[in-house]
Amino acid sequence: MTTGDDSTRQLTPTAPPIIEGIKLHLDPPPPPRPPWWLRRDVIEMAVVFVIAVLPALTGAMTSFVRYGGAEGDFVHDDSLYLWLIGRSFVVAVPVLYIMWRSHVGWAFFGMSHRPRFVDALIGAAVLIFDYMLYYALYYMYYFSFGRLSERWLHPLTPIFSAYIPTMPSLDPITASLAVLAAGANGFAEELVMRAYFIPRLEKRLRSTLAAIVITSVVFGLYHIYQGVWAASFTVVTGLILGWVFVRTRKLWPVFFAHMFMDLVPFLFWSS
């Protein structure tokens, strides 16, 4: 005969034995990683390429095929400057939004600090070095193979050529638009090619050199409308700007360099 306490003990389920030091993991395994072309950073780079690079690249290729890089197609006037300002705004705003949405921080893209005077000095030094290198290569080719075709040189023809300096004849409105256009175009192109694509490609390819080379080649290709010589040297300029960006990890030195490079043809050379 059992007592009430005994019957209660018999009906109470016993807890499973606890093995100290052993913890069973019953969580499901993590899902497989998607293929590389479906990963977030690759899709993001594709979107930026379509928004900021593909239209310029397509237009440059079309112009080169139709006109062969003829320099007569370019007229430095108010309409060109307004178009550059508008196009730069259309490119820069969505790219800045994508950068903000990526949540990696502005320092990743070289934009953690405001522009400083030293950044402008670095940009001026890059401009001087770029032109010295250009003249050296130009005259090496000139003395080796004869004068290059004029249509290959726009807009990098040496200042001491038949081009007439136009800055003294520019009215204040045109000069102001030229400065704004150079700044807007320099900011948009450097934002995309150096500040965005170099860090992204570095991380994806695990190679700084590959990131600089790829962005420089693309940078030169969408300047092919200026001619083969100009586009080829633009690749060299892209390598210089990419190296400066990697060394400083700041957008502003390459922005100022690009702005100054655009100001020279805008303010000093006629069409």
Residue 189 to residue 230: CA distance in whole angstroms: 17
pLDDT at 226: 85
Buried b / exposed e along 212-226 (16+ C-beta atoms within 10 A)? bbbbbebbbbbbbbb
Residues 19-75: pLDDT tens digits?
Answer: 555 555 556 777 788 887 788 999 999 999 999 999 999 999 998 888 876 544 455
Contact 216, 239 (CB under 8 A): yes
The pLDDT value recorded for residue 33 is 82
Angle, helices 208-221 vs 197-205, to 10°: value is 140
**pLDDT reported for residue 152:** 46
Q: Look at the pTM and tell me if it is higher than 0.85.
A: no
E strands, 50-135, where? none
Would you list the domain boundaries of the chain?
A: 40-104+113-268
Contact present, 156 and 135 (Cβ < 8 Å): no
Phi, psi (rounded to 5 degrees) for 23? -125, 120
Q: Is it the case that residue 168 has pLDDT exceeding 80?
A: no
Question: What's the mean per-residue pLDDT of the chain?
Answer: 83
